[in-house]
Amino acid sequence: MFNFIIFGPPGSGKGTQSEKLIEKYGLKHLSTGDLLRSELANQTPLGMEARKFMDRGQLVPDEVVIGMISSAIDANPGINGFLFDGFPRTTAQAEALDKLLALNKTEIAVVLFLKVPDDELISRMVNRAKTSGRSDDADETIQRKRLEVYKKDTLPVAEYYKKAGKVVEVEGVGTIDNIFGKLSAEIDSRMSESYL
Ligand code: B4P
């Protein structure tokens, strides 16, 4: 299996790039944001609970997202690998993911970290709000809160994987295709190594 994480602040393009990457590499896309939004759309108890956190720009509790990812991994046996998008977002989630993958005798090959300046992130979220219908995009105070939470709770995840030598930083400003090309090059070099 080849598993990797696309990492970065809110609005850095994780979802945008993931769509292209899964098409190219045939991996299973696991986006905790998408999974949560689907629970929300179906008005499940989990979705209604998650909404309270998402609408305030806060993270949904670890046990909820770890449970979702654990079920999703179990539901996809025998695949080529997973692309984790927007997960892990805390060190506790990263530790849980490592354990879940070890149980399946696999691991994270690389963490691709999209670097984008704050002003650009806010401007992208403002733009996305025009079409996304996402309540967490609607207000700049919430967007700034999400960036604050990212710096406090999620950036340590990059440090966690840096210690394991797994982080590669990729400039996340430029055209979508140009960034996709840089991400693909990083994956290609590692995929060929892991399959040799
Ligand atoms: P997510 O769904 O993960 O969303 P995101 O971080 O805001 O966006 P992403 O980086 O995917 O950006 P996108 O491609 O859309 O999280 C939403 C919420 O769910 C979180 O705030 C949290 O509450 C909760 N949640 C999710 N996972 C969780 C977890 N593990 N633990 C706890 N809570 C969790 O790109 C943004 C915009 O930029 C788009 O409009 C796009 O068109 C544009 N764009 C993309 N690339 C561009 C480029 N190169 N140039 C210009 N614009 C670009």
| Percentage of residues of the chain with pLDDT beyond 90 | 88
Give the list of residues 6+ apart from residue 180 with CB closer than 8 angstroms, or none: 17, 20, 21
- 3: helix, coil or strand? strand
Task: Look at residues 40, 41, 88 and name the one whose alpha carbon lies nearest to residue 65.
Answer: 88
The ligand 1 atom at the shortest distance from the C-alpha of residue 178 is 49
- pLDDT exceeds 80 at position 196: no
Supply 174's token pair.
């430029």
Output the residue whose Cα is nearest ligand 1's atom 23: 54
Q: What is the mean pLDDT of residues 86-107?
A: 97
Query: Does any ligand 1 atom lie closer than 6 A to the CB of residue 39?
Result: no
Confidence of residue 193 (pLDDT cuts 50, 70, 90): low
Q: What is the mean pLDDT of residues 82-105?
A: 97
Active-site pick, 134, 144, 145, 190: 134
Q: What's the rounded Cα separation, in Å, for the pair 115 and 155?
A: 12
| Percentage of residues of the chain with pLDDT beyond 70 | 98
For tokens 């509790």, what's the residue?
61
Output the residue whose Cα is nearest ligand 1's atom 19: 33
